[in-house]
Structure 1
Amino acid sequence: MRPVCLLPALALLAAIWLLPLEAWLPGFPVHMLRHMVLVALAAPLLVLGLPGVAGRLAINPLIAAAVEFVVVWAWHMPQAHALGRLSGAGFVAEQASFLLAGALVWAGCLAARQPLAGAGGLLLTSMHMTLLGALLVLAPRDLYAAVCGTAPDLAGQQWGGLLMLGIGTPVYLLAGLALTAKALGREAVA
């Protein structure tokens, strides 16, 4: 166990689940903030903080990236999104699946025998996160208001997309580039 990584991960999880974030941000941005903290911040810290557990979660980086892609995009389909926002059980299922998918990606990518394979998984994840964030920002209407029974809030959706772009894209991109540099450094030494 590495407390220097584990304690911040646990603090982030406590903050996103226990603090009254809705008092500070509207519904959709809070929802997206939770998603991004789970997959891009808490998950890698948990993987680094619990290397024994992470070792058991490590799967092929590209398969892990594909799993996360399916989980993230599925929960952003209007009906699934409404379930995650309006139902306690749906919220728990959504949050658990995001955390597990994030842990799979980070465990697989950071433990990959070939750092370039890990870099590929993280860069693919960065690309699909960027695409979804851009879709949320550029959509001409609120994609979820009707199914959630809320007033349309295009600005809130756009802020949520910007949070996705501002947190997920750079975290995955920088980690992927770091693994690429590690791989290139190994080749230079060999």
Structure 2
Amino acid sequence: MTRGLLLAAALLLGVGWSLSGGAMTGHMVAHMIAVAIAAPLLALAVQGAQWDPALRWPRLASPLPAALIEAVVVWGWHVPALRALAAHHPAWLVAEQASFLAAGLLLWSAVLAPQHRAAGVVALLVTSMHMTLLGALIGLAPRPLYMHHGPQALADQQLAGVVMLLVGGIAYLAGGLALLARLLRTPQEAAA
């Protein structure tokens, strides 16, 4: 299990570094891999085990606090000054990607915990909304917000916003709807 987690983290950071090579769209793809693909898969892998954040830190890994932490991490790293720092310094890029993965793991672990399913639905739907909003803000901005991304900065930024809006919005919406479907099952269906 530990080797698998280390391999996933190394792969994620390597992909993030190679994809982001100056392009905002590459950065956004790496970000979406961290929070919408790797984090839920890791949360499923550790669910109920000793490394499950929902078991290790139950107050922190509760859906609404975890959603707030994830929102602060996501919005914080999209502040232009922090984005520039991560784009130009490998150590900061590693910190950025690691914080995306950690915040995503915390949130997905919290919402997948059986005792939190109702609050998990709300947390994932709220997260879907803020991801969609941030993606729209980035994609629809009339000027480049991230000037360090070169001469095609606006077009690159617009595409990155679309990636965030679609992948981030859809991943969390789908997760929230899947949890809601579990909640709405009759006790007989749930037992089967």
Which TM-score band (shorter chain)? 0.7 to 0.9
With normalisation by structure 2, the TM-score equals 0.83
Q: Distance in 2 between matches of 1:75 and 1:15?
A: 17
- d(CA) in 2 for partners of 1:22, 1:68: 21
Q: Secondary structure at the match of 1:180?
A: helix
Establish whether residue 17 from structure 1 lines up as the match of residue 11 from structure 2: no
Per-residue CA distance 1:132-176 (angstroms, 9 max, x = gap): 01111110011011xx37335111001111111221111110110
2:41 match? 45
Partners of 1:159 and 1:10 in 2: how far apart?
29
Q: Which portions of structure 1, spanning 4 or more consecutive aligned residues, are displaced by more than 4 angstroms?
A: 9-13, 186-190
Partner of residue 154, structure 1? 154
Q: CA deviation at 1:56?
A: 2.3
Q: Which runs of 5+ in 2 are unaligned?
A: none
Report the count of equivalent residues: 182
Query: Where does structure 1 lack aligned partners over 5 or more consecutive residues?
Result: none
Q: Distance in 2 between matches of 1:177 and 1:113?
A: 17
Against the structure 1 CA distance between its residues 119 and 188, is the aligned structure 2 distance closer, same or farther, given a 3 Å change threshold? Answer: farther
C-alpha separation in 2, matches of 1:167 and 1:11 = 20
Q: Percent identity?
A: 47
The two structures, once aligned, show a CA RMSD in angstroms of 2.7
The CA distance in 2 between the partners of 1:101 and 1:12, in whole Å, is: 13
**Preserved contact between residue 13 and residue 38 of structure 1 (Cα < 8 Å):** no
Q: Which residue of 1 aligns with 2:92?
A: 90
Q: Structure 1's 140 and 186: CA in aligned 2 closer, same or farther, altered over 3 A?
A: same
AA at the equivalent of 2:68: A
Corresponding residue of 1:107: 109
How far residue 21 of structure 1 moved from its aligned partner, in angstroms, is 3.2
CA distance in 2, matches of 1:69, 1:188: 37
Aligned mates of 1:45, 1:57 — CA distance in 2: 19
